[in-house]
Structure 1
Amino acid sequence: MENSLFLGLSDVVASIRPPSSSTDNSPVEVTNLKALGSYNWLEDQAPTIAIPGRPPVWKEQPMPIHLKENLGKPFFDEGIARKCGYPLEPDLLAIEVSQGADPNFKLSEEMIDIVTNRNNLRKLIDFANSGTTNRGKHRADHFRIDAQLAPNGRTMVLTRYETQASCRQQNEQFIGFDHIFERMCTEELPTIHAANSDGRTTYLRPVGYHRIVRYDLLGMRFLVRSRVDAMLSGPSKPHAERSTEIDINDLSRALEQATLESGSATLPQLQATGVQYVNFGELVPQDLFMDIKLAHKGNVNWGNVYPQYFLSQTPNLKVATRTAVQRKNFVTQLDTYDQNSLKTEHEKQSQQFQSLVAVLKEMRRTLQTYGSSSQPLAFVWLQKGDMKAYRIQEKGEYLSDEGLEKF
């Protein structure tokens, strides 16, 4: 797989070392958090998303929970698996539609420094802390992350790089007990009945739910897309219980009435990407989102779990204890965490996020020096040593020129 990471690359232009431990005492906290957009991928022949979408609802079950292993294949990355030519374009489409009612919103005025998905940040944390012992038992993987510079000279757009071989491998392997537990403990979203351009009814099943948030961290402004596992079923505030139930009922009726019209489903500036959308879902309050993790015998690898939780700014985390009994697997305990209960873990791992920001700043300086809006760079790390920056000779399909100009 290492050789495939170098496809389409030419010469090395720079090397980046893992940063040394920082003496900066700046508080590692997220400020100015705002959700800018969200969507579900839909199972369809053409790349289609539902905006604003909705995550599946968590459903309580009595313990122990038997984890059934015959629940199908995993869905690794919806944008890649659906051969979406521009994997970041759905994010911009979701933002544009979600913010369409606000005449004062302009993405260019958000002053974004880093555009990325959460997975890229997690990989860069592995590199940034490769010279320390902070990662615990977490095993870092080699990676390649391609970077574009927006015409404003400020915004660095990071695109996850996956080879075709790795995509096939991911789709052929065992789904994993984490995903099995997630499927068993969340309610499947209803199928959307939509009318296509010739008036025939088509059935679209929502799958992964993604949320795009903007926040400030250690002097940089991030635009981060991450997958959300589930949402709590209750309202965000006790006195809103009745209205929330009405909203959910309205949502069910809206699903039955959803339409997908060729004239309005695809925004004109995104026709080259082939991504279309249907209006479906609701704007979910921040405090209802939830991540779900499974820990064998209750041993949580916080070095891996906490960065994922923090970087997505998901407020709730459920950790299930998996126990094997007579070759069968069960969930025997379920613990719920929030930001208050994870304060100690945050203090332990704050240095990792300082190192991450230091690496991102160095990557952007490298991109500003050796790249441009028309010359992306690839950052490659092989599990040890420095991270190398390469010029990309054979350009892939990242974020379109029109997309870059929005920043």
Structure 2
Amino acid sequence: MKLAVVGGGSTYTPELIDGFARLRDTLPIEELVLVDPAADRLELVGGLARRIFAKQGHPGRIVTTSDLDAGVADADAVLLQLRVGGQAARNQDETWPLECGCVGQETTGAGGLAKAMRTVPVVLDIAERVRRTNPDAWIIDFTNPVGIVTRALLQAGHKAVGLCNVAIGFQRKFARLLDVTPAEVHLDHVGLNHLTWELGVRLGGPEGENVLPKLLAEHGDTIADDLRMPRAITDRLGVVPSYYLRYFYAHDAVVRELGTKPSRAAEVAAMEKELLAMYGDPALDEKPALLAKRGGAFYSEAAVDLASSLLGSGGSPVQVVNTYNRGTLPFLPDDAVIEVQARVDGTGATPLAVPGLDPLYAGLIAHVTAYEDLALEAALRGGRDRVFKALLAHPLIGQFEYAEALTDKLIAHNREHLAWA
């Protein structure tokens, strides 16, 4: 089995490598290719990756290359984890929206649209090159904004499934609080990427006992602290929203907070510099503890589970993924991309049935889906008017004056990445 990771020079990659090494019986990789145009980073990451495999006794071969076509040739699956424009572009996404009183974040609001505008054309080009040389390969997208990018891939006819680590993070957290194994925890996870709610936490499977009320009663403070939201929100709703709902439920407070401290991108850039120095140490043969602060927790376990199910080497039959709606949420188009529990096998992902949703959740999902429709249109076709309409449609913006100003700022800060600008 051969896997390729596009964006293999990311400081995330040792997390992925560690999972591949530990879970080699589930996903028996013979060759792993790390693809990245940044040769200096790639060699540092590649060297540590080989040492991790060696320490854990993994027999697979790790190859590094900046040649995309060679790297993905004959791969059974291609994982995408790239960041167009790097942390510098992310820093812009997180700062210029604040000038208009809107949240600055890399996956939602104006910053999320900017990232989609930069990313979708690049991902589609990569996917076309994969298809030309290797039409049977699965594409697993971890590149944000995952929902929009996955929809672009699926609409272009690619064999693609989107992946996020939010659900597996909740599963692991709840398992610890309940003192059970993660495999025993099934989430009623519903929504869009970075716009989800845990409506139930069931023991033993989709039909198991819902212990979410018990979790909220006994561990409500811990859960709320992790979400960085008041406990009153989870108590009042009786569900657990993802961390990203904070940008909707406490938008103005978050904007004030973000205006008083360095951006997350600046923090991550400093962290990456330190991590890369560590990766260059020939004595290091495991992922460093600092990597846990970088983000992407449990990404490796989720990626192994998904890849192994798609490739028929094992994996859980039901996983949380991003895939076509296909009537699962009846108030959305069939070709909307949703994030829910799905059956995953060699044919792809089939969403499980979802009970009728409270309008409180369905309304916001429908609103953000409408924005994502317009965002994808802007990313594919360009043009100031399309950018403006997407911004005006976003529930975190929604005002003509803000949308006008943010349109100008988005284009000005991303001109080098927009072929039409």
* TM superposition score normalised by structure 2: 0.29
The structure with more strand, counted as a fraction of residues = 1
